[in-house]
């Protein structure tokens, strides 16, 4: 079947062609979630960008969360969400909702959209083929918020080598078979690290890392590890941004070439990041 992709005013220049040659065959991990998922037209733009990257021979792995939809379902069920240090506290009742939403609803919707846009895709969670083994994040009973203990990338390599795009929900099990909710940023970072991805991209509802979160003009376009640590110690990076930045740091320390945080609501932000020399959001490098 031919792929009648709509490039929607994204123009391929000689610069673009040289960057395609640079990235063809390489792996890019994209973390998608949060409020960026809310708008269906924005979601379709992201799917189309991924479709273009995939058609050009770039290996894309899509890792997703879905906190906004989880919260909607918790509200319907009269369950109050709880957070600690920017991470969801997950009791058994909440865990059941999290898995239902991430694996049963969001994951399958994304796979369907990708397939519809000519990207053969397979939906997974960390449970499948022992992809992710988890351990508890907090030492407390009835808390199924987990962190990554190990990644078995065999199923990802198998899918990518057969031109299938893995779509991974941030759910995992421990060695005893207990189910855990894994922060999707952490999972994306761990998967990018194991795959030695060329790029790890976090699609957010913010322009990137800013000195003043209320002032877009304070966007920091390029940061190295030393500068990131200084921003943390000076309390410029704080609250819910800390876990995301820590994930960036871990990825860079484990062989990911560059990490990018940018506003996923901007049309063609993914293509601009990979296929142009435009500055998109914040780029973090060693």
pLDDT digits (tens, 9 = 90+) for 170-226: 999 999 999 999 999 999 999 999 999 999 999 999 999 999 988 999 999 999 999
172 - beta bridge partners?
A: 180
Q: What is the mean pLDDT of the chain?
A: 92
Residue labelled with tokens 């969001």: 106
Confidence label for 87 from pLDDT (cuts 50, 70 and 90) = confident
Phi, psi of 81 (to 5 degrees): -70, 145
**What is the rounded distance in angstroms from the CA atom of residue 237 to the CA atom of residue 231?**
6
Do 61 and 160 meet the contact criterion of CB atoms below 8 Å apart?
A: yes
We find that the CATH architecture of domain 22-285 is 3-Layer(aba) Sandwich (3.40)
**What is the rounded distance in angstroms from the CA atom of residue 278 to the CA atom of residue 16?**
11
State the DSSP code for 210. B
Helices (H), the chain: 14-23, 40-55, 67-76, 92-99, 107-116, 154-161, 184-195, 225-233, 241-253, 269-275
Calculate what percentage of the chain has a pLDDT beyond 70.
95
> What sign results for the dihedral spanned by CA atoms 121, 104, 185, 241?
positive
Angle between helices 107-116 and 40-55 (to 10 degrees): 60
Q: What is the pLDDT of residue 13?
A: 67
In terms of Cα–Cα distance, which of 221, 250, 185 is closest to 36? 185
Choice between 132 and 8, residue whose per-residue pLDDT is larger: 132
- pTM for this model (two decimals): 0.93
Q: What is the pLDDT of residue 14?
A: 67
Choice between 189 and 82, residue whose per-residue pLDDT is larger: 189
In terms of Cα–Cα distance, which of 167, 286, 199, 247 is closest to 19? 199
Helices (H), 100-177: 107-116, 154-161
In terms of Cα–Cα distance, which of 193, 180, 65, 196 is closest to 133? 180
Domain ranges within the chain, ordered by starting residue: 22-285
Question: Coil, strand, or helix at residue 179?
Answer: strand
Task: Give the residue numbers of the binding site for substrate.
Answer: 66-67, 88, 181
Both tokens of residue 242?
Answer: 């800390």
Both tokens of residue 139?
Answer: 């030492």
* Res 35 pLDDT > 90: no
Q: What is the pLDDT of residues 109-120, one digit of tens each?
A: 999 999 999 999
Q: What is the pLDDT of residues 42-64, one digit of tens each?
A: 999 999 999 999 999 999 999 99
* Res 70 pLDDT > 50: yes
CA trace torsion 110, 65, 63, 147 (10° rounding): -150
Q: Cβ atoms within 10 A of the Cβ of 66, count?
A: 25
Do 206 and 264 meet the contact criterion of CB atoms below 8 Å apart?
A: no
Question: Coil, strand, or helix at residue 207?
Answer: coil
Task: Give the residue numbers of the binding site.
Answer: 66-67, 88, 181
Query: Of the ranges 6-15, 30-39, 83-92, 141-150, which one carries the lowest mean pLDDT score?
Result: 6-15
């Amino acid at each position: 079947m031919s792929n009648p992709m709509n490039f929607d005013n994204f123009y391929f220049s000689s610069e673009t062609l040289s960057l395609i040659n640079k990235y063809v065959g390489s792996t890019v991990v994209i973390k998608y979630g949060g409020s960026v998922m809310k708008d269906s037209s924005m979601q379709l733009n992201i799917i189309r960008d991924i479709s273009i990257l995939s058609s050009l021979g770039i290996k894309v792995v899509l890792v997703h969360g879905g906190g906004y939809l989880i919260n909607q379902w918790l509200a319907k069920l009269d369950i109050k969400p709880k957070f600690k240090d920017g991470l969801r506290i997950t009791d058994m009742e909440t865990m059941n909702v999290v898995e239902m939403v991430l694996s049963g609803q969001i994951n399958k919707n994304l796979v369907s959209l990708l397939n519809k846009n000519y990207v053969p895709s397979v939906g997974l969670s960390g449970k499948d083929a022992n992809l992710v083994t988890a351990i508890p994040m907090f030492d407390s009973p009835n808390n199924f918020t987990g962190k990554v203990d190990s990644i078995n990338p065999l199923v990802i390599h198998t899918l990518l080598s057969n031109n299938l795009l893995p779509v991974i929900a941030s759910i995992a099990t421990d060695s005893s078979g207990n189910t855990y909710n894994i922060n999707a940023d952490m999972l994306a970072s761990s998967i990018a690290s194991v795959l030695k991805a060329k790029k790890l991209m976090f699609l957010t509802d913010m322009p990137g890392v800013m000195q003043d979160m209320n002032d877009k003009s304070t966007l920091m376009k390029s940061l190295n590890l030393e500068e990131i640590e200084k921003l943390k110690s000076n309390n410029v990076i704080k609250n819910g941004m800390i876990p995301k930045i820590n994930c960036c740091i871990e990825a860079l320390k484990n062989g990911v070439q560059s990490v990018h945080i940018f506003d996923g609501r901007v049309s063609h932000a993914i293509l601009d990041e990979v296929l142009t020399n435009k500055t998109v959001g914040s780029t973090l490098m060693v």
